């Protein structure tokens, strides 16, 4: 029996991993939690429930962030065994949150019966949100993001954000598990509830897409996305600097000839520090004056205060006159990529610690003036934080952009996962989103999550496509993560009620 319960937990982890690209399909998410929930309903104690949840979580995250081992080995200088050990440690940490979900659900089911499975959306969303924010957070592949390409269902994110989609998918899993474990009318009620909720969400979403008003509002702007496809090992090779820079210059000229009114280069696209290299900096300013369009590009920035020096991963916006209109400094840095968390404890990854140039975080979003409009950008990984993009819209952003370098990830699932998480921000905020990636995926996504333009990975291409400048706000932009606070409140109420019931029983 114990073997069967762990097999069920393992199966849930596999289904969760298969809910995301590159190798999965969104349909798996609707049944992914059922095996784990069935196992928990078999009177699992707290310790057993924790181990079952941990089994599911480790499998889930090893299957989705396996590429971190390759990155640490290829670019962090770690030996292969140590690189993949570090990946397993990260997966084990992330698995603590599904494990906490399992513990809470096991206790609720033991107290209230299988009907308590209907509380799984509240518990799952509560722990998933914590995963995205504790210790800086790692909100990669939340359950709701599995549905971003299922456009009628994904429209719910404009009301509740991605965590509302997580709640929807978890509810269906809980209802189906309840149906499996019940008989007669309860089974019918459970299956009917799952069908009704999905049908309602999908019907409303299909009507929202059919209305399509956001794709007709606001002035049109033609955006040029420059995907230079510069190999990671060449980016800071001095002998490659001229080729890299002239490639971007030529591709920019071509994009403007094809009608681009605003050009976006990727993260860290200049083979020099823009403010530290007078020659390269002036050439870039001259390019802006020549093509007469704003250019947004990524470049590192140094700040000197007395003897102190701080390094920032930044985005610069040049005006058509060649002056610097604004600078944005990346706020959410990549752990083990741009800084080392708990560095004093991680002596066993000293090769990575010694090689890493640590960045300082920025402090706030910055409005980038493009003509009369306000644009904001997110650099690389920070686009996976819904609250950061919401803050940008509340600050007046009319168009979302993100610049990234996904060359680190090779041909793994990461570039596909990253693009889909960026796409979710467009639906949440009711904004067009333009993404420029060094090696792909670059593209433009409309406010309904429809991909207007998209490149392949590892191709050199300059995309030119249309977006619109929008000013309205979605319900999610106005209310934020209300679904999270409701979920946490319900979880706390359920646990308090459980505690009181046990106290009275004594």
Give the mean pLDDT of 468-484: 97
Based on the domain organization, do 132 and 224 belong to the same domain?
no
Based on the domain organization, do 12 and 119 belong to the same domain?
yes
Tell me if residue 380 is catalytic.
Answer: yes
Based on the domain organization, do 155 and 297 belong to the same domain?
no
Give the pLDDT band (50/70/90) at residue 34.
very high
Give the pLDDT band (50/70/90) at residue 289.
very high
Based on the domain organization, do 280 and 389 belong to the same domain?
yes
Based on the domain organization, do 38 and 87 belong to the same domain?
yes
Residue 219 near residue 468 (C-beta atoms within 8 A): yes
Cα–Cα distances (Å) from 365 to 339, 375, 424, in that order, read 20, 10, 19
Tell me if residue 240 is catalytic.
Answer: no
Residue 72 near residue 355 (C-beta atoms within 8 A): no
Given the residues 51, 338, 380, 428, select the one marked as catalytic: 380
- pLDDT for 136-163, tens place per residue? 889 999 999 999 999 999 999 999 999 9
What pLDDT score was predicted for residue 61?
98
Q: Which residues of 357-368 are buried (b: 16+ CB within 10 A; e: fewer)?
A: eebbbbeebbbb
223 three-class SS: strand
124 contact partners, CB below 8 Å, separation of at least 6: 33, 101, 143, 166, 167, 170
Based on the domain organization, do 81 and 125 belong to the same domain?
yes
pLDDT at 19 over 70: yes
What is the CATH classification number for the domain harbouring 404? Answer: 3.60.110.10
Based on the domain organization, do 87 and 186 belong to the same domain?
yes
- pLDDT for 213-244, tens place per residue? 999 999 999 999 999 999 888 888 889 999 99
Based on the domain organization, do 458 and 489 belong to the same domain?
no
Based on the domain organization, do 336 and 390 belong to the same domain?
yes
Residue 159 near residue 475 (C-beta atoms within 8 A): yes
pLDDT at 506 over 60: no
Given the residues 51, 128, 235, 330, select the one marked as catalytic: 330
Cα distance between residue 487 and residue 320, in whole Å: 48
Cα distance between residue 355 and residue 337, in whole Å: 10
Give the pLDDT band (50/70/90) at residue 45.
confident
Based on the domain organization, do 354 and 301 belong to the same domain?
yes
Based on the domain organization, do 233 and 296 belong to the same domain?
yes
What pLDDT score was predicted for residue 395?
95
Phi, psi of 212, rounded to the nearest 5 degrees: 60, 25
Tell me if residue 267 is catalytic.
Answer: yes
What pLDDT score was predicted for residue 232?
85
Residue 61 near residue 142 (C-beta atoms within 8 A): no
Range of the domain at 311: 214-473
Mean pLDDT of the chain: 92
- pLDDT for 315-361, tens place per residue? 999 999 999 999 999 998 877 666 666 555 555 555 555 555 588 88
Q: In total, how many domains does the chain have? A: 2
Based on the domain organization, do 27 and 173 belong to the same domain?
yes
Given the residues 128, 261, 267, 428, select the one marked as catalytic: 267
């Amino acid at each position: 029996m114990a073997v069967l319960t762990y097999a069920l937990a393992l199966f849930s982890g596999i289904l969760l991993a298969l809910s995301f690209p590159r190798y999965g399909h969104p349909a798996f998410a609707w049944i992914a939690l059922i095996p784990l929930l069935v196992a928990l309903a078999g009177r699992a104690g707290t310790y057993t429930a924790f181990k079952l949840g941990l089994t599911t979580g480790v499998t889930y995250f090893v299957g989705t962030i396996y590429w971190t081992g390759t990155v640490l080995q290829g670019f962090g200088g770690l030996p292969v065994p140590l690189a993949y050990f570090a990946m397993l440690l990260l997966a084990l940490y992330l698995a603590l949150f599904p494990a906490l979900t399992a513990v809470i659900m096991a206790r609720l089911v033991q107290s209230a019966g299988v009907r308590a499975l209907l509380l799984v959306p509240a518990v799952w969303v509560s722990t998933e949100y914590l995963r995205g924010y504790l210790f800086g957070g790692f909100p990669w592949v939340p359950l709701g993001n599995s549905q971003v390409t299922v456009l009628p269902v994904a429209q719910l994110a404009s009301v509740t954000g991605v965590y509302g989609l997580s709640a929807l998918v978890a509810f269906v899993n809980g209802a189906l598990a309840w149906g499996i474990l019940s008989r007669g009318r309860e089974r019918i009620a459970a299956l009917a509830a799952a069908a009704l909720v999905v049908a309602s969400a999908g019907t409303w979403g299909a009507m929202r897409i059919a209305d399509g008003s956001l794709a007709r509002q606001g002035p049109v702007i033609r955006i040029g996305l420059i995907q230079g496809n510069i190999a990671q090992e060449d980016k800071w090779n001095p002998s490659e600097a001229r080729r890299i820079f002239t490639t971007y210059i030529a591709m920019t000229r071509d994009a403007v000839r094809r009608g681009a009114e605003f050009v976006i280069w990727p993260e860290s696209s200049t083979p020099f520090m823009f403010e530290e290299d007078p020659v390269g900096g002036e050439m870039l300013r001259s390019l802006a004056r020549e093509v007469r369009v704003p250019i947004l590009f990524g470049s590192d920035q140094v700040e000197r205060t007395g003897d102190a020096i701080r390094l920032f991963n930044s985005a610069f916006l040049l005006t058509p006159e060649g002056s610097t209109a604004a600078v944005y400094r990346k706020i959410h840095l990549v752990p083990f990529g741009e800084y080392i968390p708990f560095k004093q404890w991680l002596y066993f990854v000293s090769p990575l610690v010694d090689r890493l140039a640590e960045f300082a975080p920025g402090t706030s979003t910055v409005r980038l003036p493009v003509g009369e409009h306000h644009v904001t950008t997110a650099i690389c990984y920070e686009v996976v934080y819904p609250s950061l993009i919401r803050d940008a819209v509340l600050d007046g952003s009319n168009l979302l952009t993100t610049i990234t370098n996904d060359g680190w990830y090779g041909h793994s699932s990461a570039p596909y996962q990253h693009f889909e998480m960026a796409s979710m921000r467009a639906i949440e905020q009711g904004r067009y989103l333009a993404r420029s990636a060094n090696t792909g995926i670059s593209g433009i996504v409309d406010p309904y999550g429809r991909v207007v333009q998209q490149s392949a990975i590892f191709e050199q291409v300059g995309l030119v496509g249309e977006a619109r400048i929008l000013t309205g706000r979605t319900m999610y932009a106005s209310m934020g993560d209300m679904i999270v606070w409701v979920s946490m409140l319900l979880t706390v109420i359920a646990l308090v009620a459980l505690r009181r019931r046990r106290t009275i029983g004594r």
